[in-house]
Chain A
């Protein structure tokens, strides 16, 4: 079995193509159901965000599986294959793991280290799980990717620091005031920039947003657009500044409307209660010297942008550490993946032992009372489990294909497993119940494994 990935992302495809190949818009469940119809694909997860569309799957032949994925994309989205091909990347096995781990860590994101992607990866896996199209391979792969995402976020600074001006302003406000709930925001100016920043503040749960503008009608309109905000006339600027915690200035004035002396007057009755002044106007609305006043924290648009640049640079410096973590986790996954080579032999061996046990039990059935038979059934099952525990563990610790082959060959000859092994290697949907049970027992590390069940409509 091979892991296969086919996809496009912001690195390989223009936005026009990404817009067309949007599985989220068509519905992930619909996409998964359609994908599950493809015979070459055994497990599938669709990861669809505004910057990427990726299909993860398991296939017996990686080329055939990849080709099936490309066919699916062209058919499902009605895209010309020739137009799509140059933008598609297709990888297999450990490269799939490396790619997904980098995606989950935020290393492959447009803004490196952005936190949303890990949630999107989890969501993609969850939807696939709910639709019964993931099995042991993708379960293990995706759970490993969650662990990578978490490790990178806790052990490196890749996700730290705001990387947009609005986020930088909110992060600063939180560093000054702690929780923003119960805080009041005053927006001076009724323009678009002020409105956007106020909206961002509001989404953080600030108690009150007030808009002040020289034209009351503009203020009222902006307040209405924000929703839950209030408008006030220009004459109330000073008293409102006296009570506000955060003041955002975004007027079109050609010279500063708030001088140091003006703010000193406002600060007096506040008794040095902190005031966070965010001046996002150009030219600036607040005299720079106002930042010298005790408990006045003045940041203009350049300061916020510089903060964003510093954060981006800091994130970039953490990339190497994050890549090291990804490498370590790929190695761990590789060990697990190689150990999967012994699974058919383990399954066949268990089936063989269980078949012998059952046949002996059936032979004795007529001579034993029902309760005794039940007891003997339990005891013999336990004996078989215990006998097979060590060989199972030993087989699963084998990491190179050659040794696995030698062991499998020896076991096959010793116990006559050939026919059973073939049965064990069948598709999960075609397995007999006992084979499935045996595999579950042989791979107890995958407790969250869901059986891969194809939709009935085939």
Chain B
């Protein structure tokens, strides 16, 4: 079922890329329509999986990725509809399509262990999903910032100059996404720690420590984004430096999300 949103996202990606290159109104409307259709289909898929499993699917890596893509695209649609700015779509959709192809090609059956129940667990997972979606947005915005920055610095005002919003807008969007993501990450990690201390009877939970690559990377990620948020305010590390840090932070998130979740974690495998 995950193929339907994937197909719609792929078509939306093509429409956003076409719109970015040609800047035609018709392609803009087509892109937004396809994306909205994709998000609706994705919502339907998640809803069906919830009914099937009796709970929101978010404990397997595939379902967590699917939920993150869903949140990411909802956040993007919110930005697009409030600013009428579609340039970001051409950068966010490739990431969304790449991530969504994981649950589409490697679906996992949501069979939640008994230990993964309760409001604390839900807060832990949902907070982290929101955080990762925010960091994905920040990364994409950061990349576009660097592209535009380089054009202006090099005095070659061309492709991106004509299509992207101002550096100031991109920088403030990046900062906002970082702060929101950092807050969710902090809450997610803190609640996860409390949850682990309360459910220490489970062997998987007992294995949770900084020796587990997944937890180590999550803490490292928190450190990078904490530094970024601090440096932007106290050291004037906005703009390009902040954009690079956003990309670094999200690289860690991706690393944690895919290879580590699938192959290396010793505790988050229920």
Question: Which residues of A are in contact with B by a Cβ distance under 8 Å?
Answer: 154-155, 157, 160-161, 172, 174-178, 270-274, 291, 294-295, 297, 299, 303, 306-307, 310
Q: Which residue of B lies closest to A302 (CB)?
A: B155
- Interchain CB contact under 8 A, B162 and A178: no
B:110-127 near A, CB below 8 Å: none
B24 touches A175 (CB 8 A): no
| Residues in A neighbouring B165, C-beta threshold 8 A | 178
Of the candidates A160, A270, A297, the one whose C-beta lies within 8 Å of that of B236 is: A270
B167 touches A274 (CB 8 A): yes
CB < 8 Å: which of A160, A161, A178, A303 contacts B155?
A303
A residues near B1, Cβ cutoff 8 Å: none
A294 engages B162 (CB within 8 Å): no
- Known A155-B24, A294-B239; further 6 A-B contacts with Cβ < 8 A: A154-B25, A161-B162, A175-B157, A175-B167, A176-B152, A303-B155
CB pair B238 A272 closer than 8 Å: yes
Query: In terms of DSSP, what is the predominant structure of the interface of chain B?
Result: helix
Mask, B114-153, CB within 8 Å of A = 1, is 0000000000000000000000000000000000100011
Q: Which of B25, B162, B239 contacts A274 (CB 8 A)?
A: B239
Contact B25 A306 (CB under 8 A): no
Q: Residue among A175, A178, A307 with the most chain B CB within 10 A?
A: A175
Q: Name 30 A/B residue pairs within 8 A (Cβ), A-sorted.
A: A154-B23, A154-B24, A154-B25, A160-B162, A172-B157, A174-B166, A175-B148, A175-B166, A176-B166, A177-B167, A178-B165, A178-B166, A178-B168, A178-B169, A270-B236, A271-B235, A272-B238, A272-B239, A273-B236, A274-B167, A274-B239, A294-B239, A294-B240, A294-B241, A295-B239, A297-B153, A306-B155, A307-B155, A307-B157, A310-B157
- Beta-carbon contact of B166 and A177 below 8 Å: yes
**Chain A's nearest CB lies how many Å from the CB of B246?**
16
Residues of B within 8 A of A176 (CB): 152, 166-168
1/0 per residue, CB under 8 A from A, across B230-270: the answer is 00000111111100000000000000000000000000000
Asked if B18 is at the interface of the complex by the 8 Å CB criterion, the answer is no
* B11 part of interface (Cβ distance < 8 Å): no
Residues of A near B3 (CB, < 8 A) are none
Q: A299 to B25, alpha carbons, bound, how many Å? A: 33
Chain B: number of interface residues, binned into ranges:
20 to 34
What is the count of residue pairs linking A and B with beta-carbon distances less than 8 angstroms? Answer: 54
Q: In the complex, which residue of chain A has the Cβ closest to the Cβ of B237?
A: A272
Query: Is B152 a contact partner of A297 (Cβ separation < 8 A)?
Result: yes
A172–B236 Cα distance when bound, in Å, is: 22
Q: How far is the CB of B55 from chain A (nearest CB, A)?
A: 44
CB distance from A304 to the nearest CB of B (A): 9
The chain B residue with its CB closest to the CB of A269 is B236
Residues of B within 8 A of A307 (CB): 155, 157
Q: When chains A and B are docked, how far (Å) is the Cα of A310 from the Cα of B238?
A: 30
Q: Bound state CA distance, A77 and B265, in angstroms? A: 89
Q: Which residues of chain B have C-beta atoms less than 8 A from A306's C-beta?
A: 155
* Closest chain A residue, CB of each to CB of B164: A175
B173 to chain A, nearest CB (A): 11
| Chain B, residue nearest A297 (CB) | B152
Q: How far is the CA of A303 from the CA of B166 in the complex (A)?
A: 19
**Residues from chain A with Cβ under 8 Å of B162 in the complex:** 157, 160-161
CA distance A155 to B26 in the complex (A): 10
Residue of chain A at shortest CB distance from B170: A178
How far, in angstroms, from A342 to B228 measured CA to CA in the complex?
A: 73
Contact B153 A172 (CB under 8 A): no
Q: Which residues of A contact B195 (CB under 8 A)?
A: none
Q: For residue B241, which residues in chain A have a CB less than 8 angstroms away from its CB?
A: 294
Smallest CB–CB gap between B35 and chain A, Å?
A: 21
Beta-carbon nearest neighbor of B234 in chain A = A271
How close is A297's CB to chain B, nearest CB, in angstroms? 6
Compute how far the CA of A160 lies from the CA of B23 in the bound complex, rounded to whole angstroms: 12
Cα A172 to Cα B153 with chains together (Å):
11
In B2-36, which residues have CB < 8 Å from any A CB?
23-25
How far is it, in angstroms, between the C-alpha of A157 and the C-alpha of B237 when the chains are bound? 36
Q: Closest A-chain residue to B238, C-beta based?
A: A272
- Quote the shortest CB–CB distance from B163 to chain A (angstroms): 10
The complex places the Cα of A317 from the Cα of B15 at a distance, in Å, of 24
| A294–B158 CA distance with the chains assembled, in angstroms | 21
Question: In the bound complex, how far is the Cα of B162 from the Cα of A183, in angstroms?
Answer: 22
**A157 vs B167: C-alpha distance in the bound complex, in angstroms?**
22
| Complex: A413 Cα to B95 Cα, angstroms | 72
In the bound complex, how far is the Cα of B215 from the Cα of A197, in angstroms?
A: 56
Contact with A along B152-189 (1 / 0, CB 8 A): 11010110011001111100000000000000000000
Return the chain A residue nearest B161 by Cβ: A175
* B235 surroundings in chain A (CB, below 8 A): 271
> How far is it, in angstroms, between the C-alpha of A274 and the C-alpha of B152 when the chains are bound?
12
Query: How far is B238's CA from A174's CA once the two chains are assembled, in angstroms?
Result: 18
Residues of B within 8 A of A172 (CB): 152, 157
- For A291, the closest partner residue in chain B by CB is B153
Residues from chain A with a CB closer than 8 A to the CB of B166 are: 174-178
Q: Is the beta-carbon distance between A271 and B157 smaller than 8 angstroms?
A: no
B22 CB to closest chain A CB (Å) equals 8
Least Cβ–Cβ distance between B28 and chain A, in angstroms: 10
CB nearest neighbor in A for B167: A176
Cα distance, A176 to B145, chains bound together (Å): 11
State the CA gap A175–B165 with chains docked (Å): 7
Contacts of A154 in B (CB 8 A): 23-25
Q: What separation, in Å, do the CA atoms of A38 and B157 have in the docked complex?
A: 53
Q: How far is the CB of B36 from chain A (nearest CB, A)?
A: 22
Contact yes or no, A271 B236, CB < 8 A: yes
| Contact status B161-A299, CB under 8 Å | no
CA distance A171 to B236 in the complex (A): 25
Cβ-closest chain A residue relative to B157: A307
Chain A nearest CB: distance from B213 CB in Å? 35
